[in-house]
Amino acid sequence: MSEHETTSSSTSPAVGRALDILLHLASRSGPVQAGALARDLGIPRSSAYHILSVLVERGFVTYVPKEQAYGLGVSSFEIGSAYLRHEPLERLARPILRSVAHRLGQTVHLGILYGAETVYLLKERPPTGQGSDVDVDVALVTDIGVRLPAHLTASGRSILAHSSEAQMRALFPRPGSLVTRTGKGPRSLSELRTLLERDRERGWSEEIELVSEGLRSIGVAAFDHNERPVAAFSSTWSRHYSRHDADHVREVLQQEAARLTAAVSGRAPSGPAGGRGAQGPVLGGGSSAHAA
């Protein structure tokens, strides 16, 4: 065995565990004690303490003495901030998202698909004075980075609608047990496929009270040069009150999603079945803060 192979085999588990720890801490709302972290991740306590000490030394993790627990440190924040500063998709989408919020007078979002979940990348509120529905803003899970089941969200489905069969099988390995949040929505992959076929043909997706009671969302995807969805704009409003009808919301989202498609030198699928045969990975799918 070469020196390189020996070094790689001995250090890779530690690197993997360090990344697992960072991801686990990122998913929690507060500091986590080392014992609980080791238990949740299934690693020896001694290894957890050793890795945490290195991460603390490098600033990726911080120790909170009062709680005897660990949370993310400044270095982790700096990496996340650098991603937001340098990610081309987000830089291109931000002014367009601002335009959507201004035109609709509603909070709008941009997100991508991460596995079978939608992840929020950007959020834009209407300009000061224009205001959106306060009750809707309160009900939305609007924090950037929040994840929701893609099959329940309008933006997630607007991306899934252009996924291949192979991708769908990989994303939903147990097709007969799709989760729900309000008791509504597709329960099986077969039901989901029916909805996605309709969404693909009309070019947009919609959900009503699938994630939050009383809320309705529309999502429209943007595409890359291979006609694959890279992200989706979405907007959510009260199903009982809206300053615009659904057709207007859809038209605005479609126009601005087309702008983002052009900005990334992309092109929309040609024909109602466009994108069905794409074999590459699904790259994105936004969601309104509650379920867009």
> Model confidence over 63-98: pLDDT tens digits?
988 889 999 887 887 776 565 555 688 889 999 999
Q: What are phi and psi of 64, to 5 degrees?
A: -105, 100
Entry pTM: 0.62
Question: Across all residues in the chain, what is the average pLDDT?
Answer: 80
Two tokens, residue 48:
């957890």
Stretch 269-292: mean pLDDT: 43
Find, among 116, 117, 122, the residue nearest to 142 by Cα.
Answer: 122
Which fold does the domain 3-77 belong to in CATH?
Answer: Arc Repressor Mutant, subunit A (1.10.10)
What's residue 2's pLDDT?
A: 39
CATH class of 87-263: alpha beta
Mean pLDDT, range 149-164, rounded to an integer: 92
Q: How far apart are the first and last CA of the chain?
A: 52
pLDDT value of position 157? 95
More confident residue, 239 or 2: 239
- Residue of 282 and 133 predicted with greater confidence: 133
Q: What is the reported pLDDT for 132?
A: 52
Task: Using alpha carbons, select from 150, 71, 165, 75 the residue that is nearest to residue 117.
Answer: 150
132: CB partners within 8 A, 6+ apart: 105, 106, 107, 125, 126
Please report which confidence band the pLDDT of residue 143 belongs to, taking 50, 70 and 90 as the band edges. low
272 pLDDT band, cuts 50/70/90, is low
User: For position 84, what pLDDT does the model report?
Assistant: 52
Domain extent listing, the chain: 3-77, 87-263
d(CA 124, CA 154): 17
Buried b (16+ CB within 10 A) or exposed e, 54-70: ebeeeebbbbeeeeebb
- pLDDT of 12 higher than 70: yes
Tell me which of 283 and 270 has the higher pLDDT: 270
